[in-house]
Structure 1
Amino acid sequence: MTTPNGSDDAGAGRPLKGRGALSNPAKRFDRYHTLREDDGWCSPAAETSVATDVRPEYAKSIIARNGSPDVPFDQSINPYRGCEHGCVYCFARPTHAYWDLSPGLDFETKLFYKANAVELLEQQLRHPGYRCKPLVFGTNTDPYQPIEKFYQVTRKLLELLYARRHPVSIVTKGGLIERDIDLLGAMAKRRLCSVMISVTTLDSELKRRLEPRAAAPQARLKLVEQLRGEGVPTGVLMAPIIPMINDAEIETLLRRCSAAGALSANYILLRLPLEVKSLFYEWLRAHYPQRAEHVISLIRQSRGGADYQSAYGTRMRGTGVYAELIAKRFALARKKLGLVPRREWELDCSQFTAPPARELQLQLF
């Protein structure tokens, strides 16, 4: 059945094993979509899981430039499109619509790795007009999501950056970063590396529902401890803070992160751009039906009566009484623990050397 401007209800309202989204909403660029109907003759068994499909992408560029005044970096790299962690609140989900895929289950099951990432980065670093500034990994999708174990795009990019003495910052909630602690420690000794670990909750059950394939809370605290043990400047990011879901954990979470060795801490209030709104509300009503409407009310109170504010300066923090209360609580807890707001540590750009130009003769083959 095809209907205009609706959503694919396959799996709607039924949590799937290891997945955050409950459905595949229609892409905002679609005029039509399919809707499954049971005619009573044959009722197939409901799906309990969805397999991950990974495909290569041959990108045209690898460094993304940032012009947003409320994001503390100028350029970033995202080795993957889509993210298997399955965080239902992820603000990057709507980008999958540009691939004619749904921001729902497609975002966490139909993934792309940038097969030519290292070659592109080498080319861009070699360009005469390139100016060295810290590169940030993990600003859109996680560089240490599970498929990195096989494809190792992040590792290969870091090896190139270390060889060229180029500074890098990483934001992740993936336990696979432990594999690269040796490399990150070596970079940190030259003031070429810093890391922010995203710690959303200390509740393992909430983590399983909210971020099904991300590292466990205790594993993330352990990562902070291990990174600090190797001398890597490491902070934590409580992102997002969700009303009546994880906001009660602010003080305890920061205390545990500080004890693990974190140097800084910051937060982001829940953001619900475009399709993320319907995906999150569907998740909320399925997992927390009795408090769902109260949570939605608080979200709207902190967004000027709307579901989301996209304006610079307010999109990360929100407005209103609830948003102000969260800001004050977080700032007070951070001050008591001696943590500083998130900032770029003094990474050294002066050591950078561009890759040598390749022989023209070799470029012919």
Structure 2
Amino acid sequence: MPMAARVGDLTSHGVPMNPGIGSVDVMIGYMPAWRALPASVGAAVESVSNSVNKFMQKPVLTPPSATSDIANIVGGLVQAAGQAAAEMNPAALGAAAGASATLIATNFGLTAAWSTASAVPGGQPAANTAYTKGIQAAMAAASSAVFAAIGGMADTHICPIPCPIPPHGPGMVSKGSENVMIDNLPACRQGDKIMEACGGSDPIAMGCPTVMIGDSGGSGGGGASSPPPPPASTSPAQQQVAQAASQPAASPAAPPPEQTGPLAPAEQEQQPRPPTWLGVRLFDFDGMPIAGENVSVTLDDGQAVSGDTDEEGYIRFDGLQPASGEANFPGISNKADLEPPQQEESQQPEPESPRTAAARQSNGYLAEEDVWDDDPEGDQDAAGDGSAGAGPDDDAIELPW
């Protein structure tokens, strides 16, 4: 699953993503989250970025060979700006119209100069060189102006690397997460492509190592593995989060007796449920375990247990009957609501899906999850991946926000 991208993370061109500005209210690893263009705008931006990059890489251009490329790129810039205007960024369309007109006028003047210089005996190479440099500089200026206007609706990276003379210029991520939104824009991840005005694709190379973002159904997997950290103004105690994790059981420890027909509702309610266990792991935003912190669990049916986390920030309570309740972490002013899994009404109890509950800090940020486990022996391969039992590293189910 790819890492979440932020202001200052490196791109494949070796340059930190700046200036952004990044989200003003969502921090990931103490840095502003990076946001992508809306999908409709991003597709048009990606197409025209690739076209401009190919144009900038050509060693020699002449008016006959460049005319069709210029027309196609102008059309692409106007299309991208039109998509941005449809997404409430009307300034982009005006910028595209002005930049395109300037590019066409510049090409007209350069073509006239090229024709004059080419007519001089032996002047063709110099004429080609002058035209190539002039039209590529004009193309870079036009594309950068339009990209800068479109970038007003998302985070913009300005790449200083030449291509070969003008810099790659401003660029935006063309396609971010489909499921995770930040300020109504797609969240960005390691591997997402920044499409630059002149430099083409510049994938994000790094991100926050403790926060992962993916798309369900896509190659990245599920959601974000870690909640966004609180703003810098919060206290160190508020910057700690709680994570509770356990393994769902694949089946009861002992098989139930054979049934000749469906159980009546009253009989289903009387079926005893085996004791369960609850594992809790505490760690800070640097991913370091919090040892020696008190964890107190109080369930609605009167069960109450407490203890301190070990050196790995983990504690496990065994022999609990499934019930709703609350886990408190007084040392870090945090708590989590707990719910047991619901037993399916069927002829034979089916494997139960975990019922998750998010721990919410006092400042409103979501922490990790709490999961009941119906395998008291800890020996079921519930994850289907060959693992068994439970511990600090066992299959924590994590939230995408």
TM-score normalized by the length of structure 2: 0.20
Larger Rg: 2
Q: More strand per residue: 1 or 2?
A: 2
TM-score by length of 1: 0.21
More helix by share: 1
